[in-house]
Amino acid sequence: MKVSQPPSIQRLCSECETEVQRQPKKPEDEEMLQMKSGSEGTPELTSDLQDRISRIQQTGGQPLDAEVRDFFEPRFGHSFSQVKVHHDEQAAEVADGINARAFTIGQNIVFNTGQYDPRSTTGKHLLAHELTHVIQQGKASKQPTQSQPSHIQRTLGDGHDLASPRFSKLLDLEAAYDNETIIREGSTGRSVQAIQQSLYDIGIRLPNFGADGDFGRETKAAVKTFQRRNPPLVDDGEVGPLTMAVLDARFPTPTLPPAADLAAPWSKDCVRSVLCPWSPHTIDVLRTRITLKSFDNIFWTDERWDGAAWMPDIFPGGGYNTGSEIGVLNSSCEAMSETLYHEVLHAEQPRTHRTTQARESYAYRIGEEFSIAMGLGGRSDLRTTDAEGREFADRTKVDTFVASEYPSVAAGGGGDEIIGKAATHGHVIVQRPNGSTYTRPAVVGEKVPGPITLVNEVVHPRTGWTCP
């Protein structure tokens, strides 16, 4: 359930070195190889090998054929038009000289004997790995020169940054994209939450914990599902540069309807145009299991304790959810899109959310993250801007808002919920998480839930809730 807020519903290189990246003969032994003396387990790059690698950069090679580019470019969101592959005898000798199945230098990928096989599953995995290194060493559309050796770019604004508003400027994700870290089981924070929410939005459910910012077994399983759906990703349940690249490409900067259309009264077509590109799952839930009703007015007549008496306290509603039915206040296309996203979050509420505070805080916070990344209006009073200039839903602000506005939330928080007035004047009935109840004096400002009023009900058929 969300609160209405007029006028619309809101829910809610040093000069002497060039880096070479390689895929070793044993994949688990991968490491970065640089043009300097070798260390234990890494063959030393002799001056002869360095010269031969330089010659490979300058001459020969073949561009990726159209079929291979058509397969990989949409998955990475990058052009590989300048990439050249080398798989002749000379290339094999150099790759063998550094004990590699393949290695990447700038936009040149060098393969050992028999390793270039882009139409086999194994060959695709190897090529995908090397294309990741191409991206890391500079955008594939920029051709490096000898005077500017290729190297991994590691900072925001370096030309190798995440493009999607869902992920950009989240430093852990930028680092994963740059192959500097791996987001995996045990990782926490807003970066993990962004991954979890993006998986939810394309229908990969996290039924127990949702987008909670903690990378546990449930999230690992969800990431593996995404990877299996997007070959040639390897389903290891970890978010590294390749998985991050595919996620980034899946959520390009959205193209919203014109401002006049967003401000106009809602229609299915307009709402679909907002939600389908990034959250087809929301539309799918509306189509498959939700009875949708709209109203010209929704409000609850709650009561607030003022210290001496129970006073009427009207709660203006933007919508409600029963699990199988969603009711919404007629509003603009933009507001309705945000409302429906919020209410479907309730319909898909993680099982561990057992209190009004937990349920509503989650829906407001995750809904607001969606609005921010999409460029929708949302609620500015629930947002904060971080050091990178990225807005985010502030958990403290959201929790405070829910505690102040929603009945059932007991003063001081906790897991207990107010469920009604007790027989004794000025007392409330409170329910514990285990279902047992007790009574106590009401605290000034606490509210008890009252009856709902619905004006001009319209039931909307499920037909039409589809995405292209």
Same domain for 371 and 277:
yes
Same domain for 324 and 243:
no
Whether the pLDDT of residue 84 is over 50: the answer is yes
Whether the pLDDT of residue 157 is over 70: the answer is no
- For residue 132, what pLDDT band results from cuts at 50, 70 and 90? confident
Whether the pLDDT of residue 52 is over 90: the answer is no
Residue 316 β-bridge partners: 299
| pLDDT tens digits, one per residue of 348-359 | 999 999 888 999
Number of H helices, E strands in the chain: 14, 20
Last-in-domain residue among 250, 275, 291: 250
CB 325 within 8 A of CB 459: no
Structural domain boundaries, residue 415 = 256-460
| pLDDT tens digits, one per residue of 388-437 | 889 999 999 999 999 888 888 888 777 889 999 999 999 999 998 888 99
Q: Quick one: pLDDT at residue 319?
A: 87
Q: Quick one: pLDDT at residue 420?
A: 94
3-state secondary structure 78-143: CCCCCCEEECCHHHHHHHHHCCEEEEEECCEEEECCCCCCCCCHHHHHHHHHHHHHHHHCCCCCCC
Last-in-domain residue among 217, 250, 283: 250
User: The domain that contains 196 carries what CATH number?
Assistant: 1.10.101.10
Same domain for 318 and 218:
no
Average pLDDT in the 198-206 region? Answer: 98
Same domain for 243 and 125:
no
Q: Quick one: pLDDT at residue 46?
A: 64
* Pair of tokens at residue 93: 């000798």
| pLDDT tens digits, one per residue of 206-221 | 999 999 999 999 999 9
Average of per-residue pLDDT values in the chain: 84
| pLDDT tens digits, one per residue of 3-49 | 544 332 221 222 223 344 444 444 433 333 322 233 333 445 566 77
Average pLDDT in the 77-96 region? Answer: 87
| pLDDT tens digits, one per residue of 435-457 | 899 999 999 999 999 999 999 99
d(CA 104, CA 60): 15
Q: Quick one: pLDDT at residue 1?
A: 57
Q: Quick one: pLDDT at residue 44?
A: 52
Same domain for 402 and 293:
yes
Same domain for 238 and 129:
no
